[in-house]
Structure 1
């Protein structure tokens, strides 16, 4: 679970920075309505959490696919070896 914390913290900090920059562009005080900072931080933190778990699911799928491909490659190699032995015996 410790892998989630950097994602959430990084995206939350990005959300806070987005809000501060938006206020800076509008030339309004940076800490005006701190509730909006909290909302922005929470939303971007949620995005970070979603991205972390999405990446974990994708890595699992890649590992499963890799395992399947390696098994198929192993079976194909065994099949080709058996075929080559049959030809060697027949010749």
Structure 2
């Protein structure tokens, strides 16, 4: 669970910063309507959580695919060695 915390905190800080920059561009007080700051922070924290679990799922899929490819490579090598032995016996 500790892996997700930096993602959520980082994206939440980014959401807060986005809201502050938006208010700065509009030349409004930076802490105007604090509920919108909280909403932005929570929304971007959710995005951070989603990104963390998405990355985790993708890494698992990559590892599974890597194992499949390595297994196929091993079987192909065994097949080619058997064919080479068979060819050496015949000639």
TM-score (norm 2): 0.98
1:1-91 to structure 2, matched below 5 A, reads 1-91=1-91
SS class of match (1:32): coil
| Shift of residue 51, structure 1, vs aligned partner | 0.4
- Give the 4+ runs in structure 1 shifted more than 2 A: none
| Shift of residue 28, structure 1, vs aligned partner | 0.8
Residue segments in structure 2 that go unaligned for 5+ positions in a row: none
| Shift of residue 20, structure 1, vs aligned partner | 0.3
In 2, the alpha carbon distance for the partners of 1:30 and 1:47 equals: 23
In 2, the alpha carbon distance for the partners of 1:88 and 1:73 equals: 22
The aligned length equals 91
TM-score (norm 1): 0.98
In 2, the alpha carbon distance for the partners of 1:27 and 1:90 equals: 86
For the aligned residue pairs, the C-alpha RMSD in angstroms reads 0.5
| Shift of residue 73, structure 1, vs aligned partner | 0.2
| Shift of residue 74, structure 1, vs aligned partner | 0.1
